[in-house]
């Protein structure tokens, strides 16, 4: 069964604690927090104060997906705020290896993220030092977009490299995930699925979480 990480980008911000506790009770594996700086992506969302505010609310792993230029400026502060895992885009920094080292030195798990236009070959040398790879299945910046099916070949390629090397990093997918697309990703090697609008735009979020689990059981 795939691990589920709801994205709070689609939650009700006026009732965020309620919406976090709801998915926590439904038995998810992590909480996905999208950090957007209005420069790397054309949207703004949260900062580290959001991570600090959510830390006492849940014991779920707080997974921060940093969509910002030069994330090296802030990764230590996100770890300090309570992030368990920090994801950084390879496209967002000149020093990806260094940023991943900084995340680990700060005590968090390190994730490298790739945009739809970035090939798996760009991250092969980073695989020995990451805990998770996030393959974006939409262009980053907004929830509620359609899944990009050509990304399935990239997930499969990454899974093959992982198997051949005996590595244990998780493979996460993010964007356009629903009960149909989660199965496609799981079947080619994804181990963690982020879902925002599919869960939170529903009147029955718990049922949507169950549907994602059943689809990959
Ligand atoms: O990182 C992002 C968007 O940039 C995501 O985490 C979205 O929040 C996913 O939303 P859905 O596609 O599941 O609605
Ligand atoms: Co995300």
Q: What is the mean pLDDT of residues 63-87?
A: 98
Cβ 32 under 6 angstroms from ligand 1: yes
10 is in an annotated binding site: no
Structure ipTM: 0.99
Domain holding 37, by residue range, is 3-215
Q: What are phi and psi of 113, to 5 degrees?
A: -120, 140
The percent of the chain in helix, strand and coil, each rounded to the nearest 5, is 45, 20, 35
Q: Distance from the CA of 196 to the center of ligand 1, in angstroms?
A: 6
- For ligand 1, whether the C-beta of 123 sits within 6 Å is no
Angle between helices 179-187 and 205-215 in degrees, nearest 10 = 30
What CATH number corresponds to the domain at position 140?
Answer: 3.20.20.70
pLDDT at site 18: 98
For ligand 1, pick from 10, 87, 135, 174 the residue to mutate: most ligand atoms within 8 Å of CB: 174
165-178 residue pLDDT tens:
999 999 999 999 99
Measured CA to CA, the distance from residue 172 to residue 191 in angstroms comes to: 6
Q: Is 34 annotated as a binding residue?
A: yes
Q: What is the dihedral of CA 145, 40, 46, 142, to 10 degrees?
A: -10
How many domains, in total, are found in the chain? 1
Give the pLDDT mean for 30-34: 98
Per-chain mean pLDDT for the chain: 98
Ligand 1 lined by 115 (C-beta under 6 Å):
no
In sequence order, the 6+-apart residues with CB closer than 8 A to the CB of 24 are 31, 58, 59, 60
What percent of the chain shows pLDDT beyond 90?
100
96-123 pLDDT, tens digit per residue, is 999 999 999 999 999 999 999 999 999 9
**Short-list 43, 76, 56, CA closest to 16:** 56
Q: What token pair was written down for 34?
A: 């999208």
Angle at 156 between CA 154 and CA 157, to 5 degrees: 65
Q: Could you write out the three-class secondary structure of 167-186? A: CCCEEEEECCCCHHHHHHHH
pLDDT of residue 72: 98
Q: How confident is the model at residue 147 (pLDDT cuts 50, 70, 90)?
A: very high
Q: Is 174 in the pocket of ligand 1 (CB under 6 A)?
A: yes
**Burial class of residue 44 in the structure, from the number of CB atoms within 10 Å of its CB (0-12 exposed, 13-18 middle, 19+ buried):** exposed
Nearest atom (ligand 1) to Cα of 201? 14
Per-residue tokens: 119: 């090939």
């Amino acid at each position: 069964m795939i691990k589920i990480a709801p994205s709070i980008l689609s939650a009700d911000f006026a009732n965020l604690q309620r919406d976090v506790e709801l998915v926590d009770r439904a038995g998810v594996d992590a909480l996905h927090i999208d950090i957007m700086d209005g420069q790397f992506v054309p949207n703004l969302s949260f900062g580290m104060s959001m991570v600090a505010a959510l830390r006492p609310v849940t014991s779920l792993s707080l997974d921060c997906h940093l969509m910002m230029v030069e994330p090296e400026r802030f990764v230590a502060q996100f770890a300090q705020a309570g992030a368990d895992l920090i994801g950084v885009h390879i496209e967002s920094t000149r020093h990806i290896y260094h940023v991943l080292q900084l995340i680990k030195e700060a005590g968090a798990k390190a994730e490298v993220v790739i945009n739809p236009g970035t090939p798996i070959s760009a991250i092969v040398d980073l695989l020995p030092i990451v805990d998770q790879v996030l393959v974006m299945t939409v262009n980053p910046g907004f929830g509620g977009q359609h899944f990009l099916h050509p990304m399935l070949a990239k997930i499969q390629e990454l899974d093959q490299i992982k198997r051949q090397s005996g590595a244990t990093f998780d493979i996460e997918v993010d964007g356009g995930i629903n009960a149909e697309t989660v199965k496609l990703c799981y079947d080619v090697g994804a181990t963690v699925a982020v879902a925002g609008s599919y869960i939170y735009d529903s009147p029955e979020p718990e049922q949507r979480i169950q549907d994602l689990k059943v689809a990959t059981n």
